[in-house]
Amino acid sequence: MPTLNSVPVRVGSRVLSTGSYRPDQIVTNDDVAGLIDSSDEWIRERSGIVERRRCAPGESVTDMAVAAGAKAIAKSGIAPELISMVLVATVTHPYQTPAAAPEVAFRLGAINAAGADLGAACAGFCYSLGLADSMIRSGAAEYVLVIGVEKFTDFVSPTDRGTAFIFGDGAGAALVGPSDHTGVGPTLWGADGEQKDLITMSQSWSEYRLEPRDEFPYVQMSGQQVFRWAVSEVPKIAMRTLEASGVTVNDLTAFIPHQANMRITDAVVRALKLPEHVVVGRDIETTGNTSAASIPLALDRLRQADQLPSGGLALLIGFGAGLVYASQVIELP
Ligand code: COA
């Protein structure tokens, strides 16, 4: 029997660079409060959000992904032709087909790249980073561009009290490449489909086609239940991730969780007993919850503010609709 060629196996991968894109338009709490009988005070207190960004008319998921991806590529110094795979984590690309990634790869000049979208909601960036690491270590890819991008403006109802003030638009990217040591620790990931209805669309496309109930299908959330799940499960997942990577909270430079709600971040920081020196991602205050984009946006902002020394370790953890989660410790670029 003939044997098949195998591709070389690499020791590790690491994040080489990051990039981000925030739309220009700032939407304040007062701008959203009127339609949901809320107030700036309530929104700040219950979510930690002060403002979020919104796309300009005509600005798309792919436009934002290209803007963030271009910055990550430029900072890495890697030629776009060397990228083997573009993974776009998103749940708000408004086309059933084609996926966003092939267009994004083309517009970035990544002409030799495969491209696919990944739908794991607010865990999408960490899911994609886990896949990128596996692909690079197995030899299936050399450089992988991971982008988290969302345009929730298209899928949030401005009159839905439970979500209208939470979500925002934006994109963040990371270029991942080969490394002679482990720069992306083991990814801990999972899914609990029994809880699929906690964050879901108001109607499926097929229901909407047969009998439109709403102006357009939009995201709905059982906020309290999601909150309770996150506060109880995220610290456990984080501890298991640290253990799998062979480090403790004392070894961390940064903790960058999905930006779901400032109170969830505060509760997890308390439960993990994070030492004072650990920088915590709190980008939600000015960005809102941008689902798959929230972790790379927070990461890039802290890097731009020079708060994250290169070579330090950051614990990332994404969690959300599905329910799904994914987490890993990375070496900072
Ligand atoms: N503005 C003003 N009041 C509101 C409101 C709003 N937008 N939404 C709810 N309320 C009121 C309710 O009517 C209720 O009033 P009552 O006590 O008089 O009955 C009170 O506020 C509490 O409602 P509740 O639904 O329990 O709010 P909450 O404290 O759970 O906060 C969320 C709501 C959405 C901020 C919170 O549940 C949350 O952040 N959940 C997790 C969301 C999340 O992380 N999502 C992303 C996952 S990826």
pLDDT tens, position by position, 108-133: 999 999 999 999 999 999 999 999 99
| pLDDT of the residue at 250 | 97
Instruction: Give CA separation, 307 vs 256, 268, 310, in Å.
Output: 12, 21, 10
| pLDDT of the residue at 37 | 95
Atom of ligand 1 nearest to the CA of 264: 44
Instruction: Read off the pLDDT of residues 47-71 as tens digits, 9 standing for 90 and up.
Output: 999 999 999 999 999 999 999 999 9
Helix-then-strand count for the chain, H and E: 10, 14
Strands 188-191 and 324-331: antiparallel
Residue 5 has pLDDT above 90, yes or no: no
Q: Measured between alpha carbons, how far is 182 from 169 in angstroms, rounded to an integer?
A: 32
Residue 23 has pLDDT above 90, yes or no: yes
Strands (E), 215-262: 219-221, 254-257
Instruction: Read off the pLDDT of residues 98-113 as tens digits, 9 standing for 90 and up.
Output: 999 999 999 999 999 9
In contact, 162 and 220? CB cutoff 8 Å: yes
User: Going from the N-terminus, what domains does the chain have, and what CATH number goes with each?
Assistant: 12-179 (3.40.47.10), 188-331 (3.40.47.10)
Atom of ligand 1 nearest to the CA of 319: 48
CA of 43 to the centre of ligand 1 (A): 9
Q: List the catalytic residues.
A: 122, 258, 289
Ligand 1 site-directed mutation target among 42, 192, 197, 224, most atoms within 8 Å of CB: 224
Residue 8 has pLDDT above 80, yes or no: no
246 Cβ contact list (under 8 Å, min separation 6): none
| pLDDT of the residue at 260 | 97
Strands 279-280 and 254-257: parallel
Residue 1 has pLDDT above 90, yes or no: no
Instruction: Read off the pLDDT of residues 156-178 as tens digits, 9 standing for 90 and up.
Output: 999 999 999 999 999 999 999 99
CA of 144 to the centre of ligand 1 (A): 38
What average pLDDT does the chain have?
A: 96
